[in-house]
């Protein structure tokens, strides 16, 4: 659905058709309904301005503003209809847009590449009449795609940022969509709109929120990426059961989104200020922290310890790899010594001992990739995973474990 006419819209339609054809040719869109949505939804109405990444020779990422005025209409439209993710907000506010030139900051909202959005939307297996909950409205483009496919009255979209929610709602109305757009914590869903037949998230929670399951009908499909403080990602598809839980699979496609804003990592300085007491002298570590550079193990580990983050600290010229729980003061500090590593731990939990046990379970299961996992989510927020029919020995809860 579009409202603009004239030469600009003719060119935009040509670019939309090219994008739809490109996604179809690559297998990124396989169903006529979603392909038609890509052809009809004017992405440029949702991306009047965005940032392009600029290399700074090893320095912090610079973000260069791109608008119709700054680069010209043809260049702007061409970029808008690339199958590319564009950053639209830095540091949770519009402040960077008030300054001239390249900007520095942390992305907090973006317009995800259309191919990924549509691939995830297709995994929902929607049928006419389904009611959809979208978590992470962002620019509103994904909500427009869903409204085009299902009808605006069948779509509820939630964003944690009131400014983004208001802006997306206005853009949707301008091009003829009237989906319900709510400002709030999407991890809590939107109970007044329930029950939902489908739930999809364009941000990454650390576990399947129990509110989503409680607000979904039995048989509903949930599609989301899961992440954790360690930064691994997996795309999952679950079906809600009669008991209010859900079971499903980690999908083979790669996908990542920003961590849900209510679950973002605190600064390492804040964590170090509340480190609990040491359990004793350093000991030899059975595994190296470099194993967590492998997404397969990192994703596995964070399903069990989703609130544990990693960072590097240099004290008196010595480099340490730190692992710290975001909430309870537990920590582990590792230092390389020759071919091995020493670890010291402290606080309520022995985090490195837990990670070693998780690695044991993972290797005993054959070091599976995430796509080998079956996953279940309980109505109480717990998660369990299986590989090859064998359950790995942890549930992803926050319960403290024995110190050792």
* pTM, two decimal places: 0.90
SS3 302: helix
Q: For strand 216-226 and strand 196-201, is the pairing parallel, antiparallel, or unpaired?
A: parallel
C-alpha 253/C-alpha 82 separation (Å) is 20
Banded model confidence at residue 401, pLDDT cuts 50, 70, 90: very low
Give the pLDDT confidence score for residue 398 in this predicted structure.
36
Cβ atoms of 167 and 153 within 8 Å: the answer is no
Q: What kind and span of H or E run contains 343?
A: strand 340-346
Banded model confidence at residue 317, pLDDT cuts 50, 70, 90: confident
Q: How far is CA 3 from the centre of its chain?
A: 32
Tens digits of per-residue pLDDT, 99-155? Answer: 988 999 989 899 999 999 999 999 999 999 999 999 999 999 999 999 999 999 999
Q: 6-15, 24-33, 334-343: lowest mean pLDDT where? A: 6-15
φ, ψ of residue 376 to 5 degrees: the values are -130, 150
pLDDT mean over 370-376: 93
Cβ atoms of 226 and 126 within 8 Å: the answer is no
C-alpha 327/C-alpha 263 separation (Å) is 11
Q: Alpha-carbon Rg of the chain, whole angstroms?
A: 23
Q: Residue 218: how many CB atoms within 10 A of its CB?
A: 12
On the question of pLDDT at 307 being above 90, the answer is no
Q: For strand 383-387 and strand 373-377, is the pairing parallel, antiparallel, or unpaired?
A: antiparallel
């Amino acid at each position: 659905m579009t409202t603009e006419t004239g030469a600009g819209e003719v060119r935009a339609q040509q670019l939309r058709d090219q994008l739809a054809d490109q996604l179809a040719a690559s297998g990124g869109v396989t169903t006529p309904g979603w392909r038609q949505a890509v052809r009809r939804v004017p992405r440029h109405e949702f991306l009047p301005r965005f940032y392009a990444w600029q290399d700074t020779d090893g320095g912090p990422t610079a973000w260069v503003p791109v608008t119709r005025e700054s680069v010209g209409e043809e260049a702007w439209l061409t970029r808008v209809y690339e199958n590319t993710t564009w950053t639209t907000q830095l540091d949770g506010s519009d402040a960077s847009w008030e300054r001239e030139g390249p900007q520095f900051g942390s992305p907090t909202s973006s317009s995800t590449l259309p191919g990924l959005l549509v691939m995830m939307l297709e995994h929902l297996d929607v049928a006419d009449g389904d009611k959809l909950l979208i978590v992470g409205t962002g620019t509103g483009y994904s909500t427009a795609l869903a409204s085009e496919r299902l009808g605006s009255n069948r779509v509820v979209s939630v964003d944690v940022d009131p400014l983004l929610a208001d802006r997306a709602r206005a853009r949707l109305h301008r091009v003829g969509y009237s989906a319900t757009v709510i400002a709030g914590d999407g991890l809590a869903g939107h109970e007044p709109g329930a029950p939902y037949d489908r739930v999809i998230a364009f941000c990454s929670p650390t576990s399947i929120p129990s509110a989503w399951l409680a607000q979904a009908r039995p048989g509903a499909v949930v599609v989301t990426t899961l992440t954790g403080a360690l930064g691994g990602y997996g795309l999952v598809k679950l079906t809600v059961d009669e008991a209010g839980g859900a079971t499903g699979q980690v999908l083979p496609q790669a996908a990542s989104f920003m961590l849900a804003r209510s679950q973002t990592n605190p600064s390492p300085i804040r964590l170090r200020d509340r480190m609990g007491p040491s359990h004793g002298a350093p000991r030899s570590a059975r595994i190296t922290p470099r194993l967590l550079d492998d997404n397969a193990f990192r994703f596995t580990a964070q399903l069990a310890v989703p609130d544990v983050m990693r960072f590097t600290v240099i004290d008196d010229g010595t480099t340490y790899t730190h692992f710290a729980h975001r909430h309870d003061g537990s920590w582990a500090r590792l230092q390389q010594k020759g071919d091995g590593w020493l670890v010291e731990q402290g606080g309520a939990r022995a985090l490195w001992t837990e990670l070693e046990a998780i690695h044991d379970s993972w290797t005993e299961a054959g070091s599976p990739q995430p796509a080998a996992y079956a996953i279940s989510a309980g109505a109480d927020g717990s998660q369990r995973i299986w590989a090859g029919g064998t359950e790995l020995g942890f549930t992803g809860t926050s319960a403290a474990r024995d110190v050792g």
